[in-house]
Amino acid sequence: MSALPEPALPTPKLRLLYSPEQIAARVAALGAHITRDFAGQPVVLLGVLKGASIFLADLARAIRLDATFDFLAVASYGQGTYSSGEVRLTKDVDESLHDRNVVLVEDILDTGLTLSYLRTVVQAHHPRALRLAALLDKPDRRRVPIEADYAGFTIPDQFVVGYGMDCAERYRNLPGIYLLAE
Catalogue the active-site residues. Answer: 110
Residues 66-85, mask of contacts with ligand IMP (x by CB under 6 A): ----------------xx--
Quick one: what does residue 58 bind among ligand IMP, Mg ion, none, with the CB cut-off 5 to 8 Å set by partner type?
Answer: none
Contact window for ligand IMP (CB under 6 A) among 11-19, 21-29, 35-43, 156-164: 156-164
Q: How far apart are CA 107 and CA 48, in angstroms?
A: 8
Residue 51 touches ligand IMP, criterion: CB under 6 A: yes
Applying CB under 6 A, among 106, 121, 152, 162 the residue interacting with ligand IMP is 106
Written in H, E and C, the secondary structure of 13-31 is HEEEEECHHHHHHHHHHHH
To the nearest whole angstrom, how small is the minimum distance from the Cβ of residue 9 to ligand IMP? 18
Instruction: Pick between residue 64 and residue 82 the one whose CB is nearest to ligand IMP.
Output: 82
